[in-house]
Amino acid sequence: MRFAVVTVAGKEYLTPEPLLKDLVDPTVISPPISIRQIPSLPETPINSQFAFSKELQSFLAGRELLLDELPYPLHVLHDHYQNGYIQYEYGIQFRAGYPHCSRCANQEAEYFFAFVCARCRQMCTYCRKCIMLGRLSQCTPLIRWAGPLPPVKIVEPILAWDGQLSAEQSVASDQLVQAIEKKTPFLIWAVCGAGKTEMLFQGIAQALARGRRVLLAAPRTDVITELTPRFIAAFPTTAIVSLYGGSDDRGKNGQLFLSTTHQLLRYRDYFDVIIVDEVDAFPYSIDQSLHCAVQKAQKEDGVTVFLTATPSKELKKLHHQKVPKRYHGYPLPVPEFQWCGNWKKKLAKRRLPQPLQLWLTKRLTSKKQMFLFVPTIEVGQQLVPIVRDLGISSESVHAEDEKRHEKVAKFRRGELQLLVTTTILERGVTVPNIDVAVLGAEEAIFTESALVQIAGRVGRHKDYPSGDIIFFHYGKTMAMVEAKRHIESMNEEGGFS
């Protein structure tokens, strides 16, 4: 889409090319050109008399979208722009010669690409980093709502959850209420299995009661789809929006949002409270643009709260509350180390290292379910046939595995005894009675935080609060030692010694 700058009754407006022919008596300042060639985008003041579309308000408020993402006729959008209810913004801007993406805040040169653009008929730079949300290039503006925000509907009682918090959960829950009230950035450092979702309910309920908009962001779709029904049950009168790739809620507005960190990129200055779950998990931990996305989506006077079992050094500097005990009151299972020699060589010969074989066959008789974490997809694929020869029903999964959800569901139903997995399942998946092992724990992918999360899969259910966690290795690493120390010190703080 190209735009012309037009003067009507002494005021300057940006006008989409297809609407130019309908103008009555305009003064066209520039012929239609790419938005990138317009040195500054005229903003229009709000006309409070204008009868704006409530539907468009609900669709666009808080978001920044491409024209293609807006299912409204151009003239409707233009009316709203002329009356100050919509504003345009450059998608990609050059600052001191370097491109900058307004949507994902990307500034890394290797994530920009220039192509001969059919729209603006010249070389045009676009951002590859946020391409999954639709191509944003120099000639594509972002459109945002500039009118009043849609009202929120508060129906008391807001919180329907009536469960009991443990003493440790209560302390964290109270602190969270305070932090949200005072708008102090806050960290809940809770062990795996502490019951963190329940700790959030009071703080969220209070913010909702005050008419605030709350967002819970998590890095993975699995986590959002698992949390959504729990939040709907806990907050039955609140308008809840659940956002992930392929979600039906895109375009909906509400007061409580659950979103993957990627979908968050479409929001700006909207949320009073943002809670970032599993803050250290891939891809949030390695992707600076997602940190920017959280900052961007938060209102200037809003507050962000972080939630994790394995905070970074940076996060530990925040005001925080530890929850060292699991909700069921039992200690965290402490990992055991087991040297297993050159396991890669063994696998290449279609054999298992002896200690691993023993560990597996022991469970063949007890029928207990197992997770086995491996460093690569290939190791998983090598292992499965060998393990099946032992008579153990098994599948391997990894992040790009198309049958991942199917296989995990089969495992949950108890139709598989062993699930061999890459670190993709280090969080989120909870199976009640399980033993867990890592093969090749010395590999670099198994960081302290990954190992703590993996150990955290064991003993989460109150009926099965213990279980084995064993690191099979070919040489102990610092990460292994630190993961064990981390777990032991949490147990000490939890009153176990």
Residues forming the site for Zn ion (CB under 5 A) = 101, 103-104, 106, 117, 119-120, 124, 127, 129-130, 137, 139
Provide DSSP, 147-171.
SPPPPPP--S-------PPPHHHHH
Structure tokens, 148: 């009043």
Structure tokens, 157: 């009682």
Closest approach, Cβ 218 to Zn ion, in A, equals: 21
For Zn ion, give the closer residue by CB, 104 or 424: 104
Structure tokens, 25: 């008596």
Q: How long, in residues, is the chain?
A: 497
CA atoms within 13 A on the CB side of 294: 25
Distances (CA, A) of 30 to 11, 15, 17, 19, 37: 14, 10, 11, 14, 10
For Zn ion, give the closer residue by CB, 66 or 455: 66
Select from 23, 75, 142, 35 the least CA-distant residue to 6. 23
What DSSP state is assigned to residue 267?
B
Q: Which residues contact 456 (CB under 8 A, 6 or more apart)?
A: 191, 192, 193, 309, 332, 427
SS3 445: coil
Select from 27, 56, 2 the least CA-distant residue to 15. 2
Backbone angles phi, psi at 255, to 5 degrees: -115, -30
For Zn ion, give the closer residue by CB, 23 or 67: 67
For Zn ion, give the closer residue by CB, 128 or 368: 128
For Zn ion, give the closer residue by CB, 103 or 457: 103
Closest approach, Cβ 265 to Zn ion, in A, equals: 8
For Zn ion, give the closer residue by CB, 139 or 429: 139
For Zn ion, give the closer residue by CB, 5 or 35: 35
Closest approach, Cβ 2 to Zn ion, in A, equals: 9
